[in-house]
A and B are shown apart, each in its own frame.
Chain A
Amino acid sequence: MTKKAKKMSSVAALFVLAAIIICVGELTPQSSSQWSNLRTVLQLGTIYALLAVSMNLCNGFTGLFSLGQAGFMTLGAYTYAILTIPVASRAGVYYLYGVAGWLSNVVLPIPVALLVAGLMAALLAALIGAPVLKLKSDYLAIATLGFAEVVRIVIASSPLNRVTNGSLGLTKIPGFGSYYGIFIVSIVCIAIIVLLINSSYGRAFKAIRDDEIAAEAMGINLARHKQMSFVISSFFAGIGGALMAMYMGAVSSTTFTIAVTYFILLIVVIGGMGSVTGSIISSLLVIAAREWWLRPLDQTQYIGTFRVPLLKAGFRMVVFSVILMIVVLFFRRGIMGDKEFNWDSIAKLFKKRGKKPKTPTVGGDAQ
């Protein structure tokens, strides 16, 4: 396929995706429960796509096995919430402890608050990065897991009651008001990550993943680049956490548990470590499965008067976990492995099906 054809196909595909999002946004009634599944899947799936891509940057592209996502999400979510809960609602939210004086009237516009959320997460990553990233991969995993738990506990601890509302959590968190806000933020963030990965620094990250001794010998400073990847990944995890807070309208220290980090990791693994398109596809599929397709498994179903065994609340997650294990054991490379989606592979698929070999023409494989 010629370069021009590829570019045109990519643009066309993006238009189609945008069209789908807009159609769902405009044409489906907001309150209809049949369509709400689709709306949920698209919105939640997009947020998880950002979270998965940001984790992939650190774990998949740089090879740093960090399990601290939930901690950065918590920090980002709380930062966003604290800075955007409408002043009028604050007394109600902080009913038990009262709001801290310096905080009570501080409100930031939503986009700015999102940015600050990301920066707070990045700041924490910068602080812990230097010592922690020197650890071997297994220990790095446990150290980051530990830090995430520390964040969760500290953020709900009593000295911070007037800032974070302690163990009560925060509610009345505002969103964009428009259905499209979350998409725009996520897509912009993912686009930035893709630009980074395709840049010289992205190549340096991959070199560190493939062979860090060789990378160091070729002049790549390991400590600096690992920290860079870790901090940037955490920045976007913070924004992802803020988006989740926005989506759910409420957040508490138990919202982003270790299980959430595991969940994102498993999404990344299913999509393919080292593939951005894999993470995006995987997020949408996994969320669709968890929130929509597998939902019937949670309800007791009857065939006539015969009650189908096994189906009750929670079965959906068990089936989901089993599917994940199957992928981890038998399809280790995930959907995309470490390759990105490209038109050449699609074109090859068509050529294989016995069509006459096409000579390259300007305009590509036009019908």
Chain B
Amino acid sequence: MDTFLQNCLTGISIGSIYALIAIGYTMVYGILRLINFAHGDIFMMAGYFMIICMTDLLIPWYYSVIIVIVATIILGVVIERVAYKPLRDAPRMSIMISAIGVSYLLENLATYIFSAQPKSYPYDKMGFLSQRVTLGNISTTLVTFITPVLTIVLVLALVVLVRKTKIGMAMRAVSRDFETSQLMGVRINAVISFTFVIGSGLAALGSILYFIPRSSVYPLAGSLPGLKCFVAAVFGGIGSIPGALVGGFLIGLSETFVKGSATLSQYSDVITFILLIIVLLVKPTGLFGEKIKEKV
């Protein structure tokens, strides 16, 4: 029973991190109908930014976190302006290819700047986060415990933002009907940039929480998590933020439990992908997604 609860907690925790990144995918897809292949690599770059701040520049963690989030946001917005904006009127495949190109560029850039060897993440400097916390018979690190709480708070804030604010309404309008929103005077560029700001900011946060328990970052570190987070977004319903949260939890839990099993542990990623295929075939709109009707 204890192992079960332990796994649940770990699963929800890693699931929350996946949710934070999945939100980036789901929001961008909702507005631009683009799978941002580069999102996982932005997450990876955030990891490197943290290393630069804390290990190379010796900035204390509370400032570093802020700098990393800001830097990642800038990276995300710049990528959108340079690589996606010019292709807004181009066929869908072109912008997807551009996203792939950006992903490729970021991975090569990271390899060039930081070398392909894994660099160690300064988790020890944030030692207090690795403190162990005990609840009954379960013991875990503080960060594992904080993560889901933080994530749920952020998601709630985001949902409020989307439902109650003007910019949120603009975002919903754009994701419903891009062209008409433009005609109605919605400032498309601002809305899109804002979407990337939120997505990248959350990815940066997810990156910090992700890499703390892992000891290192390497250039391809964003590739597989990025893919898994996209699975989470599809699971919950692409375009839905609460869906991304639920999807993230589901993927995190399934992964943790599979990893816990002796026979299947090496197949944890395989199972994640098989779940993706099943969802795409059975209910492509995911748990909370909306059906988009195509007119013949």
Give the chain A neighbours of B111 by CB distance below 8 A: 314, 317
Q: Are A314 and B112 in contact (CB under 8 A)?
A: yes
| Nearest opposing residue in chain B for A138, CB measure | B35
Give the chain B neighbours of A257 by CB distance below 8 A: 220, 223
Is B215 in the interface zone, CB < 8 Å from A? no
11 contacting pairs across A/B (C-beta < 8 A)? A132-B277, A134-B281, A149-B227, A153-B266, A263-B104, A314-B116, A321-B109, A324-B101, A328-B101, A329-B83, A332-B90
From the candidates A142, A328, A329, name the one contacting B35 in the complex (CB within 8 A): A142
Among A263, A273, A318, residue most surrounded by chain B Cβ atoms (within 10 Å): A318
Q: Are B274 and A321 in contact (CB under 8 A)?
A: no
Assembled-state Cα–Cα distance A312/B220 (Å): 20
Nearest chain B CB to A311 CB, angstrom units? 10
Is A315 in the interface zone, CB < 8 Å from B? yes
Assembled-state Cα–Cα distance A138/B96 (Å): 8
Is B87 in the interface zone, CB < 8 Å from A? yes
From the candidates A149, A262, A322, name the one contacting B269 in the complex (CB within 8 A): A149
6 closest residue pairs by CB, A with B = A314-B112, A321-B105, A146-B273, A317-B108, A321-B108, A328-B101
Residues of A within 8 A of B (CB): 65, 131-132, 134-139, 141-143, 145-147, 149-150, 153-154, 157-158, 213, 257-259, 262-263, 265-266, 269, 273, 312-315, 317-318, 320-322, 324-325, 328-329, 332
From the candidates A134, A146, A315, A324, name the one contacting B104 in the complex (CB within 8 A): A324
Q: Are A137 and B93 in contact (CB under 8 A)?
A: yes
Given known A213-B296, A314-B115, contact A131–B277 (CB-CB < 8 A): yes
Nearest chain B CB to A310 CB, angstrom units? 9
Residues of B within 8 A of A (CB): 29, 33, 35, 82-83, 86-87, 90, 92-94, 96-98, 100-105, 107-109, 111-113, 115-116, 220, 223-224, 227, 230-231, 234, 266-267, 269-270, 273-274, 276-277, 280-281, 284, 296
Given known A138-B92, A141-B35, A325-B83, contact A147–B266 (CB-CB < 8 A): no
Q: Are A153 and B269 in contact (CB under 8 A)?
A: yes
Extra A-B contacts (13), CB below 8 Å, given A146-B273, A265-B97, A325-B101: A135-B281, A139-B234, A142-B230, A143-B276, A149-B273, A259-B223, A266-B97, A314-B115, A321-B101, A324-B104, A328-B97, A329-B86, A329-B87
Assembled-state Cα–Cα distance A137/B35 (Å): 11
Q: Are A65 and B93 in contact (CB under 8 A)?
A: yes
From the candidates B92, B100, B105, B227, name the one contacting A137 in the complex (CB within 8 A): B92
Give the chain A neighbours of B94 by CB distance below 8 A: 328, 332
| Nearest opposing residue in chain A for B224, CB measure | A149
Assembled-state Cα–Cα distance A137/B94 (Å): 12
Q: Are A321 and B227 in contact (CB under 8 A)?
A: no
**How many A-B contacts at CB < 8 Å in the complex?**
124
Give the chain B neighbours of A328 by CB distance below 8 A: 94, 97-98, 101
Q: Are B100 and A262 in contact (CB under 8 A)?
A: yes
Give the chain B neighbours of A137 by CB distance below 8 A: 92-93
Assembled-state Cα–Cα distance A315/B110 (Å): 10
From the candidates A132, A142, A265, name the one contacting B234 in the complex (CB within 8 A): A142
Q: Are B112 and A315 in contact (CB under 8 A)?
A: yes
Q: Are B284 and A317 in contact (CB under 8 A)?
A: no
Q: Are A146 and B277 in contact (CB under 8 A)?
A: yes
Nearest chain A CB to B45 CB, angstrom units? 14
Give the chain A neighbours of B33 by CB distance below 8 A: 138
| Nearest opposing residue in chain B for A314, CB measure | B112
Nearest chain B CB to A74 CB, angstrom units? 14
Q: Are A158 and B266 in contact (CB under 8 A)?
A: yes
| Nearest opposing residue in chain B for A148, CB measure | B273
Q: Are A325 and B284 in contact (CB under 8 A)?
A: no
Q: Are B112 and A258 in contact (CB under 8 A)?
A: no
Give the chain B neighbours of A315 by CB distance below 8 A: 112
Give the chain B neighbours of A145 by CB distance below 8 A: 227
Assembled-state Cα–Cα distance A318/B107 (Å): 9
| Nearest opposing residue in chain A for B113, CB measure | A314
Assembled-state Cα–Cα distance A257/B223 (Å): 10
Give the chain A neighbours of B270 by CB distance below 8 A: 149-150, 153-154
| Nearest opposing residue in chain B for A329, CB measure | B86
Q: Are A131 and B281 in contact (CB under 8 A)?
A: yes
Nearest chain A CB to B251 CB, angstrom units? 13
Among A65, A132, A154, A324, residue most surrounded by chain B Cβ atoms (within 10 Å): A324
Nearest chain A CB to B287 CB, angstrom units? 16
| Nearest opposing residue in chain A for B230, CB measure | A142
Assembled-state Cα–Cα distance A318/B105 (Å): 6
From the candidates A150, A157, A213, name the one contacting B266 in the complex (CB within 8 A): A157
Give the chain A neighbours of B116 by CB distance below 8 A: 314
Give the chain B neighbours of A157 by CB distance below 8 A: 266-267
Q: Are B266 and A142 in contact (CB under 8 A)?
A: no
Nearest chain B CB to A302 CB, angstrom units? 19
Nearest chain A CB to B111 CB, angstrom units? 5
From the candidates A141, A143, A213, A332, name the one contacting B277 in the complex (CB within 8 A): A143
| Nearest opposing residue in chain A for B110, CB measure | A314
Assembled-state Cα–Cα distance A134/B227 (Å): 21
Assembled-state Cα–Cα distance A138/B112 (Å): 30
Give the chain A neighbours of B277 by CB distance below 8 A: 131-132, 143, 146-147
